[in-house]
Amino acid sequence: MSEKHKKPDWLTDIQNKSWEPELFISGGIIFTLVQITGVIQRQSFLLLQTTGYIEPVIIANFLVAALNALIFGFGLHLALRGFWVASVCLSYVFPKGIQTEKLEHYAPPFKRRVNRLIDTSVDLVVWMESASSIMFFLSFLFFSLIISVLATLIVITPNSSLLELGPTIYAIIRISSYILLFFGFIYAVDFLTMGFIKRQKKIAKLYYPIYWLFSILTLSFLYRSAYYTLVTNIRRKWLLATGIAAYMIIALVITQLSFGGNNLMPALSFNSLDTKAYLGLKVDRLKFDTRQYDNTRKDGDMVQHVSIQSDIVQEKYLKLFIVHQKIIERLMDMDCAEKARSIVKTLEQRKMLNCYRNFYEVYIDDALVNTIKWRYYKHPKTNEEGILAFIPIDQLAPTEHIVEVKLNVATKAALAELKRFGMKDEIYAYIPFWKDVK
């Protein structure tokens, strides 16, 4: 080995003791990342509410998927290291390992199987050491890959706000985006096949500009050295490619389950139709939704659209809170919609409250509540912004009642838009509550 590539003694020493920082880092990072994913999800909800654009949720999906890749990888690493420690302890207690001579009485098929086992005393410990270190390394590699995909999509996917430039310009941008996505797919195929297109000399020159562009867009400096280290040292390249694809799919599935159960991920569809999974607009009259009540909402859950103070109300007033959802409030009449987009001053804020009064209609037991005074409000627990009203209910009998919030939309286009968001009719919220007397 030349002096230039000679391994320094300190590096050899660190490599021999790498399991110590590995265990420390894995344990600490898993705990930290679990907390961070929840924060990212909450912030994506808030951004969706305040901006009305789905892109923050898409970005949050990829960030959480990248973090889940780390959590999943570090979890496997800890499991492998735990088994490695157990193997080391077993080799200390039984240094001779498997004594096959004591199994001579086994029938030939079973005897051959035992003879093929890895000797716990040495070989298994060495194998587990290598597997644990590789898993630790792969966790960071997959994290870098998902972040690279996110960075690429942010650059080449048109933002919904670009619609304000006009339909023609936006259509041109979308077509350009689709072309870049197609080139990105070609780049991904070459990446997962360990350079299949690079080996095709007839098309390699045509492919090079695509490779050069996406090397920049995907932040290849984060993973390229590690990627080629694996490619040039692992014989079964198909197994590595399958592992990368499976690992990233697992991370995305974990993210999907953590965001919204079986709802289609916006990160996979890039379609504003799927915002209904986040707006929570699908009204189920037979379901008791704990998010709609301040006293039953779980820690970390968001209101998302409408809430009251309790499922059993003893007060004389019903505390009704409606979250600002920019996607929904764009359906107000044009005059109000223009005010909502502007930076409102005190006078404009008062005018907007009048707009809200006309847009949100409140019914209690099918009776329209005519006199409602709205005020701006920020929920102290969820940090969601919206409007708040106190509705007198002291005249109600001590029994079950229904409060409904309906959207006063005047055009068929607005009604069609509501159906896109998962609403079957104009009912925005349906909240049962029980009136009780102190």
**Domain extent listing, the chain:** 9-274, 285-435
- The whole-number pLDDT of residue 317 equals 93
- Helices 346-359 and 334-341 pack at an angle, to 10 degrees, of 140
Instruction: List, for residues 254-271, the tens digit of each pLDDT value.
Output: 666 655 443 433 333 333
Q: How far is CA 30 from CA 17, 46, 130, 188, in A?
A: 21, 25, 21, 29
Closest CA to 103 of 87, 117, 86, 120: 117
d(CA 230, CA 48): 40
Is 70 exceeded by the pLDDT of residue 60? Answer: yes
- The whole-number pLDDT of residue 388 equals 94
Any idea how long the chain is?
438
- The whole-number pLDDT of residue 119 equals 57
Closest CA to 183 of 226, 216, 145, 230: 216
Is the pLDDT higher at 274 or at 144? 144
- The whole-number pLDDT of residue 262 equals 39
- The whole-number pLDDT of residue 260 equals 47
- Can you tell me the mean pLDDT for 398-409? 89
When pLDDT is cut at 50, 70 and 90, the band that residue 319 belongs to is very high
Is 80 exceeded by the pLDDT of residue 41? Answer: no
